């Protein structure tokens, strides 16, 4: 088997559930095991499904939404979100870190609660204003 | 003005709105914009915003605001708009009763019971969750059993975690959202169990709340027993056979200290029942006209109190109709009554509103009974004569269908009952 042939046959197939609409097409992605490049997508019924499969396979992103503790606020927790979606594999660690954060009311809507200095672009902001109680 | 003190209020209002969720707040703004000078919104919680305050995830507002917001962000926008419209909002106030003369009886911790007069009323009390009692799971009665929405409130507003290891019964969106929420708060979620052969929640939630965290979803499976004396110690789950009977020979035990039940919402209608409004047994909400008017003059309703919505954006749209009508009622400009009754037919669980007019444009919300692929939504006369048909790529009970009805569509229809059906269609391509 030549290198090129070997390369061409070293594909991994991964399944995804399309979230584009309630039809929930079962998508299959063939990707190169070494570069992870998508070679083929199957199972979609519309363009959205194909785009989604490629995005999900190569760079899945998620919006982080969780809460942090707030002292002296109307409620005990302040809802927060990432300003923009973050890489999926970062979500758990971000939320774990946010569990250790405490802020004090009043907090303005959109106020920056935490910036990850190791990951440029990850910024956690308040989803609402929190009045003092 | 936002207040918690009844002494800040007027003795009478043009429109009083019961419930300060998105439905109530949007209705208030629309009432102001359509002739009501003095509008009051009453909410029993400590601030207005409704269920959105605890729905910290995103997925709200794509239709209404053209961008994806979290629940609190959506709530904040509608609250801001009520304040700009000079609407009074009283929190921490419970509406106990509304009498024949539309006097609204309020109870507050500060001032006890007081009366406010209203020329029109909008009911927007939202919904509450079905509980374990509604599905009768056998076993003991230990602590550790929560509805998913209550757990959501405890976690997201009060910072109280329900336990360490949870099982979730029901695959509706609230259950799925809570599976992720608990996981992110460090609670282990052993699995989600769904009695139906299909998941009830959005695929997006299946993927982003379960798959992302390797939480198993067991379809056609249910909880058959809850164990534990003071606290839940475990549950027994079993797959179901075709007749929906649990196969006890294939049951298995799961140790856990928490069970969340997410088995649907029921419109919160004690007040409407007290007022003896006509009810629809399918929606469990009041019967409404295309003006969102109930069976009593000057009483309007919108949002989850009328029927359970899956998107808050549609709640907003419906509330704008209810609020506008309440304003018009007060101003004496309410359009002529409806002349057509809508009747749910094949595979249609319900339609809202219950009546429409052939003179105006309407949005009719309906829900299918069972999922279908390629199908046709058709309007017929009671004898089956076709009036209108529209192809749908699919229907799914968890997803509301909305139908825009224009007078042109009903041009050749002169009856008074219109039947709504969703029928299978031979797949002949899109
Ligand atoms: C967990 C969960 C997740 C959801 N996720 C999404 C989503 O991702 N995207 C989306 O678009 N939609 C979502 N929804 C749906 C959306 O939030 C609801 O459809 C919407 O909030 C309903 O609005 P409402 O105003 O009718 O009711 P509610 O928001 O429930 O408001 C009703 C208000 O009435 C008050 N009230 C009730 N009775 C009285 C009384 N007697 N006196 C005074 N006040 C009273 C209550 O305190 C409450 O504030 C979700 C809902 C839930 C529960
Ligand atoms: S591929 Fe297209 S049709 Fe299929 S689920 Fe995705 S969006 Fe829907």
pLDDT tens per residue, range B109-120:
888 999 999 999
Ligand nearest to the CA of B318: 1
| Mean pLDDT confidence for B148-164 | 96
Q: Is A63 on the interface with B (CB under 8 A)?
A: yes
User: How many separate helices (H) and strands (E) can be counted in chain B?
Assistant: 7, 30
- Mean pLDDT on A10-24: 90
- Asked if B208 lies within 8 A of A19 by C-beta distance, the reply is yes
Partners of B181 on chain A (C-beta within 8 Å) are: 66
- Cα distances from B281 to residues A12, A81, B127, B306, in angstroms, run 52, 40, 15, 11
Enter the tokens of residue A18. Answer: 């399309």
- Cα-to-centroid distance, A17 and ligand 2 (Å): 9
Beta bridge pairs of residue A80: A66, A126
Q: SS3 for A112?
A: strand
The enclosing H or E element of B2 equals strand B2-3
A85 and A36 in a common domain: no
Question: pLDDT band at residue B135, thresholds of 50, 70 and 90?
Answer: low
Residue A77: CATH number of its domain: 3.10.530.10
CB contact under 8 A, B184 and A22: no
Residues 6 or more apart from B56 whose CB is under 8 A from it? A65, A66, A67, A79, A81, A127, B70, B71, B72, B156
Which ligand has the minimum distance to the alpha carbon of residue A28?
A: 2
CA of B126 to the centre of ligand 1 (A): 5
In A, which residues are within 8 Å of B72 by CB distance? 79, 127-128
Q: How many residues does chain B have?
A: 430
Instruction: Kindly state whether residue A116 falls inside one of the protein's structural domains.
Output: yes
Q: Is the beta carbon of B304 within 6 A of some atom in ligand 1?
A: yes
In the predicted model, what is the mean pLDDT of residues B176-190?
A: 97
Which of A16, A31, A59 delimits the end of a domain? Answer: A59
My answer on whether A45 and A80 are in the same domain is: no
- Whether A131 is covered by a domain: the verdict is no
Q: What is the DSSP secondary-structure string of B68-134?
A: -EEHHHHHHHHHHHHHHTT-EEE-SEEEEEE-TT-EEEEEETTTEEEEEEEEEEEE---EEE--GGG
Ligand 2 pocket list (CB less than 6 A): A 18, 20-21, 23-25, 44-46, 48-49
Predicted local distance difference test score (pLDDT) of residue B424:
93
- Supply the pLDDT for residue B12: 97
Out of A66, A74, A88, closest to residue B184 by CB: A66
Ligand nearest to the CA of B430: 2
Q: Is A84 in the same domain as A32?
A: no
Share of chain A above pLDDT 90, in %: 81
Q: Is the pLDDT score of A3 beyond 60?
A: no
Structural tokens at position B343? 């009747």
Task: Determine whether the shortest distance from the Cβ of B311 to ligand 1 is under 6 A.
Answer: yes
Q: Is A91 on the interface with B (CB under 8 A)?
A: yes
pLDDT given for residue A5 in this prediction: 47
Q: pLDDT tens, B308-325? A: 998 999 999 999 999 999
Look at residue B6 in the predicted model and tell me its pLDDT: 84
Chain mean pLDDT for chain A? 91
Q: Which fold has domain B12-128+266-331?
A: FAD/NAD(P)-binding domain (3.50.50)
The reported pTM is: 0.93
Q: Output the DSSP codes for B157-208.
A: II-----SEEEEE--SHHHHHHHHHHHHTT-EEEEEE-SSSS--S-HHHIII
Q: What is the pLDDT of residues B24-44, one digit of tens each?
A: 999 999 999 999 999 999 999
Q: How far is A64 from chain B (nearest CA, A)?
A: 8
Q: Is A23 on the interface with B (CB under 8 A)?
A: yes
Q: Whose Cα sits closest to atom 41 in ligand 1?
A: B95
Residues of chain B in contact with residue A88, where contact means CB-CB under 8 angstroms, are 212
CB contacts, 8 Å: A93 with chain B: none
Q: Write the CB contacts of A33 (distance below 8 Å, at least 6 apart in sequence).
A: A10, A11, A12
With respect to residue A31, please indicate whether it lies within any of the assigned structural domains: yes
Question: Cβ(B292)–Cβ(B325) under 8 Å?
Answer: yes
Exposure pattern of B223-244 as b/e (b: 16+ CB <10 Å)?
A: bbbbbbeeebbbbbbbbbeeee
Q: How far apart are CA B125 and CA B122, in angstroms?
A: 9
Distance from CA of A8 to the nearest CA of B (A): 29
Ligand 1 centroid to Cα of residue B125, in Å, is 8
Instruction: Give ipTM to 2 decimals.
Output: 0.91
Angle, CA A12 vertex, CA A6 and CA A16 arms, to 5°: 160
Question: Could you give the C-alpha distances from B196 to B174, B244, B245, in angstroms and in order?
Answer: 16, 9, 12
Q: Identify the closest residue of chain B to A61 by CA–CA distance.
A: B208
The class of domain B340-427 in CATH terms is mainly beta
Check whether residue A43 and residue A93 sit in a common domain: no
**pLDDT tens for each residue of B391-429:** 999 998 888 999 999 999 988 888 899 999 999 986 544
Question: Is residue A43 one of the residues assigned to a domain?
Answer: yes
Question: pLDDT band for position A7 (50/70/90)?
Answer: low
Q: Does domain B131-263 have CATH number 3.50.50.60?
A: yes
Comparing B12-128+266-331 with B340-427, is the CATH topology the same? no
Say if residue A71 is in the same domain as residue A27: no
- Confidence bin at B430 (pLDDT 50/70/90): very low
CA distances from residue B305 to A32, B74, B403 in whole angstroms, order as listed = 52, 19, 20
Which of A98-112, B132-146, B190-204, B276-290 is predicted with the least confidence, judged by mean pLDDT? B132-146
- CA–CA min distance B73, chain A (Å): 6
Which tens digits make up the pLDDT trace of B249-261? Answer: 999 999 999 999 9
Domain with A81, as residue range(s), is 65-126
Q: Which of A18, A74, A81 sits opposite B58 (nearest CB)?
A: A81
- Over range A42-48, report the average pLDDT: 95
Residue A133 lies in a domain: no
Backbone angles phi, psi at B25, to 5 degrees: -70, -45
Which stretch of DSSP H or E encloses residue A14? strand A11-17
Ligand 1 pocket, mutate which of B42, B50, B75, B96 (most atoms under 8 A from CB)? B50
| Inter-chain residue contact A76 with B157, CB threshold 8 Å | yes
Close Cβ partners of B280 (under 8 Å, ≥ 6 residues apart): B286, B287, B350, B354
Residue B55: per-residue pLDDT: 98
- Report, in this order, helix, strand and coil percent for chain A, each rounded to 5: 25, 40, 40
- The partner residue sitting opposite A77, judged by closest CB among B156, B186, B208, is B156
User: Confidence class of residue B134 from pLDDT cuts 50, 70 and 90?
Assistant: low
Q: Which residue on chain B is closest to A74 by alpha carbon?
A: B46
In this structure, are A77 and A94 located in the same domain? yes
Give the residue-averaged pLDDT of A51-67: 96
CA of A68 to the centre of ligand 1 (A): 23
Chain centroid, CA B180 distance in Å: 22
Q: What distance in Å separates the CA atoms of residue B51 and residue B149, rounded to the nearest whole number? A: 9
Q: What total of structural domains would you count in chain A?
A: 2
DSSP class of A37: -
Residues A90 and A110 in one domain: yes
CA B155 to chain centroid, in Å, comes to 21
Range scoring the smallest mean pLDDT among A9-18, A78-87, B9-18: A9-18
Task: Tell me what the pLDDT averaged over chain B comes to.
Answer: 94
d(CA B198, CA B241): 14
Can you read off the two tokens belonging to residue B174?
A: 């609230």
CB B303 within 8 A of CB B124: yes
Question: Of chain A residues 112-131, which have a CB less than 8 A from chain B?
Answer: 127-129
Query: Looking at residue A8, what is its pLDDT?
Result: 56
Euclidean distance between the first and the last CA atom of chain A, given in angstroms as a whole number? 73
Domain boundaries, chain B: 12-128+266-331, 131-263, 340-427
Say if ligand 1 is within 6 A of residue B21 CB: yes
- The pLDDT value given to residue A4: 46
> Which of B71, B159, B208 is the closest to A77 by Cβ?
B159
With beta carbons less than 8 A apart as the criterion, state whether B152 and B185 touch.
no
**A32, two tokens:** 């190169």
**Cα distance between residue B384 and residue B294, in whole Å:** 29
In which order are the strands placed within the sheet that holds B386-392? B355-356, B340-344, B417-424, B375-380, B386-392
Q: Closest approach of chain A CAs to the CA of B69, in angstroms? A: 9
Three-state DSSP state, A113: strand
pLDDT band at B128 (very low <50, low <70, confident <90, very high): very high
Residue A117 placed within a domain: yes
Rounded CA separation A80/A110 (Å): 9
Distance B311 CA to ligand 1 centre (A): 10
Mean pLDDT (whole number) for A118-122: 85
> Chain A: residue nearest B58 by CA?
A65
Residue A11's Cβ-side half-sphere holds a number of Cα atoms within 13 Å equal to 14
Answer yes or no: are the C-beta atoms of B227 and B233 closer than 8 Å. Answer: yes
Residue B87: pLDDT over 80: yes
CA distance B304 to B311: 10
| Same domain flag for A112 and A85 | yes
Residues A88 and A117 in one domain: yes
The helix (H) or strand (E) run that includes residue A38 is: strand A38-42
């Amino acid at each position: 088997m030549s290198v090129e042939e070997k390369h061409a046959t070293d594909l991994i197939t991964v399944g995804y559930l399309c979230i584009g609409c309630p039809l929930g097409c079962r998508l299959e992605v063939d990707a190169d095991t070494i570069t992870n490049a998508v070679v083929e997508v199957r199972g979609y019924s519309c363009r959205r499904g194909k785009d989604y499969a490629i995005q999900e396979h190569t760079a899945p992103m998620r919006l982080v939404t969780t809460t942090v503790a707030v002292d002296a606020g109307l409620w005990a927790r302040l809802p927060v979100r990432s300003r923009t979606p973050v890489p999926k594999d970062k979500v758990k660690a971000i939320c774990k870190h946010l569990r250790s954060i405490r802020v004090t009311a009043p907090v303005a809507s959109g106020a920056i609660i935490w910036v990850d200095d190791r990951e440029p672009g990850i910024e956690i902001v308040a989803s609402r204003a929190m009045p003092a109680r | 003005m936002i207040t918690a003190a009844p002494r800040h209020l007027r003795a009478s209002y043009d429109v009083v709105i019961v419930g300060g969720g998105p439905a109530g707040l949007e209705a208030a703004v629309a009432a102001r914009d359509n002739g009501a000078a003095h509008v009051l919104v009453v909410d029993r919680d400590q601030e207005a915003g409704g269920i959105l305050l605890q729905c910290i995830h995103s997925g709200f507002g794509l239709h209404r605001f053209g961008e994806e917001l979290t629940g609190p962000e959506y709530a904040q926008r509608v609250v801001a708009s009520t304040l700009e419209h000079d609407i009074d909002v009283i929190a921490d106030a419970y509406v106990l009763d509304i009498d024949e003369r539309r006097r609204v009886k309020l109870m507050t911790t500060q001032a006890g019971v007081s009366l406010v007069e209203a020329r029109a009323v909008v009911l927007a009390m939202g919904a509450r969750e079905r509980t374990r009692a509604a599905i009768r799971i056998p076993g003991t009665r230990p602590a550790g059993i929560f509805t998913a929405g209550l757990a959501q409130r405890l976690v997201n507003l009060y910072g109280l975690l329900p336990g360490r290891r949870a099982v979730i019964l029901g695959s509706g969106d609230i259950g799925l959202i809570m599976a992720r929420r608990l996981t992110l708060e460090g609670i282990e979620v052993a699995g989600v169990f769904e009695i139906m052969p299909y998941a009830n929640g959005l695929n997006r939630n299946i993927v982003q709340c379960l798959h992302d965290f390797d939480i198993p979803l067991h379809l056609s499976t249910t909880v058959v027993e809850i164990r534990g004396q003071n606290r839940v110690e475990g549950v027994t789950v079993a797959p179901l056979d075709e007749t929906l009977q649990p196969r006890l020979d294939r049951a298995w035990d799961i140790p856990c200290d928490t069970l969340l039940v997410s088995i649907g919402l029921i419109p919160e209608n004690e007040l409407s029942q007290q007022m003896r409004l006509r009810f629809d047994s399918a929606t469990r909400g009041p019967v409404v006209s295309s003006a969102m008017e109930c069976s009593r003059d000057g009483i309007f309703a919108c949002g989850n109190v009328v029927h359970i919505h899956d998107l808050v954006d549609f709640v907003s749209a419906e509330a704008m109709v209810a609020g506008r009508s309440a304003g018009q009622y007060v101003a004496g400009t309410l359009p002529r009554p409806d002349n057509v009754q809508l009747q749910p037919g094949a595979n249609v669980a319900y339609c809202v509103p219950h009546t429409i007019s052939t003179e105006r444009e309407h949005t009719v919300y309906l829900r299918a009974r069972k999922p279908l692929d390629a199908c046709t939504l058709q309007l017929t006369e009671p004898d089956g004569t076709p009036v209108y048909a529209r192809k749908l790529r699919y229907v799914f009970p968890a997803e509301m269908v909305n139908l825009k009805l224009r007078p042109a569509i009903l041009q050749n229809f002169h009856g008074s009952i219109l039947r709504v059906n969703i029928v299978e269609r031979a797949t002949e391509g899109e």
